[in-house]
Structure 1
């Protein structure tokens, strides 16, 4: 039975399950427009998830075939996964920020062998032990990979501009960090319950009520630019806090108010984490060694293989931030690279 909630003012949400994931579900928002419903995100590409989305739309008084458009907050499969099926069933357009569209296009064009080779090289450079890298080498001969054919968007979300939702005022706010092209969507309309503040904010994964989003690295193998995704995220948080929306409608967990207070909590959390990480760097450490020593939601020994790759990416994002702030530096000539506090 699909869980559907009416948020008032022609906005509803559907809990679309994420298979085998502790997050449980993605909140897909259904926004009424003069041309039919528009979805904010779609959920994971899985038969059960598709069935729940279709059932939820029926409970909202509409159907998949009536969807006018799909607005994607970011390219991750629990948000973008079902977009292609929705478009096939309805003819709806799909909109995404150009930076995440570039990742989708690169994903579609990347041969699995090249992806495995890239991941192997990245992990070796981060100091991963041979027993962790070996499975990637063994998997390299595969010719197919799940999730390597995400739907290519056909509209671009332009930061600062209103989206083409007839009868609604929905403005795109670029909030890079969780992904390079993550966007929040500011519904610049009076809150239906007259709550104080400025409209409502569909926050995707950028601003969540009780958890912090993963901040890792999304890099083009052919681009040598050194990015600072954590710095981007912290800047984006402050920008969203200044909007002072009456209510935040996130993609996970539950709706909440007082976005500025949550922004302050997250800024403090990351400053505390950076301070703790710097204290680890009394001796030179590789990104892998840093990840092993950082605090996670479980001991390192209990973190699954794939999640360790994500953890190392997050550790490296934090290290880059410390370097940018002048609080750490790479040790010249180290291979794999190590970092030390300054």
Structure 2
């Protein structure tokens, strides 16, 4: 397995594309469809004697263009099968428009968040320059679901659905001993103990990142109860207890369960901060975002209020807040924040912190 790192100044830093040279030459994710990144991916593959036309399978962790943008072009070059979770498939095969290309969805969302006109204009301008030409060609996809196995010929990838950042985001778990040219983080052998507890690693896309907390709420506005969905996904990562995670951005994560627990704790802390903002009076998602994150630019004009909305929505569903139009009002000034998250999440965070 080879990691090819590609530049990305718009989203969460350098993109990772993973090359698996099994019986089926496979890419996990593809990066964004812009000329410089396309050229870098071609060059990175060429170092291993691979061209776009040689790729037999593309496995996508989710629909975002910095992960799926080149899937259609690679498929056109050599007929590669493209796998993506059924919830994200319509955004890869072109049946649905992404948010950046859907003015009606933008208007509804921005109104719900209380976003002012000048911020809408700046975000729309960003979509016009950076956000609409990066999706690449539509691809014919093979939809997959949780628990489904993708056979690469000697390497099996198990689909693990981890919604939150997007509706269809998936990790792909594998036995690293089966991957040609890859050294497991925890070495396996023929000893009985290893067979009983074999090593397991996973490609996690943006479900788990080493330096940032993946955005919820703004990254995919289709997700229902985004914070609750993501908390459950983090618990699932903790429970799987993989030996290593290969994220969609930056470096390998050697203690995925610990990192997932850290992110769970981060969201508990952010929930407390949101409650603190509302102690001064009712506020919209945009106003809460400004209190949490300050001034925002580019894609963060979407992600900031989206993150605030995810927490406000979570608190409203729990009866801590009430919503009047676009503003949220605190009705329970002293809730138990721990009770707002799955008990398994709290146990995991406390055990691994």
Calculate the TM-score normalised by the size of structure 2.
0.80
TM-superposed CA distance for 1:135, in Å, is 6.3
Alignment of 1:316-331 (within 5 A): 316-330=309-323
- Aligned counterpart, 2:78: 90
1:75 aligns with 2:63: yes
- Aligned counterpart, 2:38: 50
Pick from 10, 26, 30: which aligns with 2:19?
30
- Aligned counterpart, 2:168: 181
- Aligned counterpart, 1:335: 325
- Aligned counterpart, 1:6: none
Cα shift readout 1:135-155 (whole Å, capped 9, x = no counterpart): 6899999xx943466523421
Tell me the distance in 2 between the aligned counterparts of 1:183 and 1:111. Answer: 22
- Aligned counterpart, 2:290: 292
- Aligned to 1:249, the other structure's residue is in SS state strand
- Aligned to 1:94, the other structure's residue is in SS state strand
Tell me the distance in 2 between the aligned counterparts of 1:109 and 1:16. Answer: 23
- Aligned counterpart, 1:239: 236
Higher helix share: 2
- Aligned to 1:163, the other structure's residue is in SS state strand
**Backbone CA RMSD of aligned residues:** 2.8
Tell me the distance in 1 between the aligned counterparts of 2:7 and 2:255. Answer: 27
The runs of 5 or more residues in structure 2 that have no matched partner are 188-197, 333-353
C-alpha change, 1:228 and 1:194, in structure 2 (3 Å) is closer
TM-superposed CA distance for 1:323, in Å, is 2.0
TM-superposed CA distance for 1:98, in Å, is 0.7
TM-superposed CA distance for 1:340, in Å, is 2.3
C-alpha change, 1:156 and 1:278, in structure 2 (3 Å) is same
- Aligned to 1:39, the other structure's residue is in SS state strand
The runs of 5 or more residues in structure 1 that have no matched partner are 1-10, 221-225
Tell me the distance in 1 between the aligned counterparts of 2:215 and 2:243. Answer: 25
- Aligned to 2:173, the other structure's residue is in SS state strand
Tell me the distance in 2 between the aligned counterparts of 1:13 and 1:139. Answer: 30
Tell me the distance in 2 between the aligned counterparts of 1:308 and 1:98. Answer: 28
- Aligned to 1:211, the other structure's residue is in SS state coil
Q: Retained in 2: the 8 A contact 1:161–1:172?
A: yes
Q: Retained in 1: the 8 A contact 2:18–2:27?
A: yes
Q: Retained in 2: the 8 A contact 1:116–1:140?
A: no
Q: Retained in 1: the 8 A contact 2:176–2:184?
A: no
- Aligned counterpart, 1:157: 144
Q: Retained in 1: the 8 A contact 2:119–2:301?
A: no
- Aligned counterpart, 2:208: 207
Cα shift readout 1:161-183 (whole Å, capped 9, x = no counterpart): 21131111210000000000000
Tell me the distance in 2 between the aligned counterparts of 1:267 and 1:109. Answer: 28
Calculate the TM-score normalised by the size of structure 1.
0.83
Tell me the distance in 2 between the aligned counterparts of 1:140 and 1:40. Answer: 26
Greater Cα offset, 26-35 or 174-183: 26-35
- Aligned counterpart, 2:186: 195
Q: Retained in 2: the 8 A contact 1:73–1:184?
A: yes
Higher relative contact order (CA 8 A, sep 6+): 2
TM-superposed CA distance for 1:309, in Å, is 2.3
Q: Retained in 1: the 8 A contact 2:11–2:299?
A: no
- Aligned counterpart, 1:278: 275
- Aligned to 2:269, the other structure's residue is in SS state helix
Greater Cα offset, 20-29 or 227-236: 20-29
Cα shift readout 1:226-283 (whole Å, capped 9, x = no counterpart): 8201111110111111111121111111012121111111111110111111121121
TM-superposed CA distance for 1:311, in Å, is 1.1
C-alpha change, 1:79 and 1:59, in structure 2 (3 Å) is same
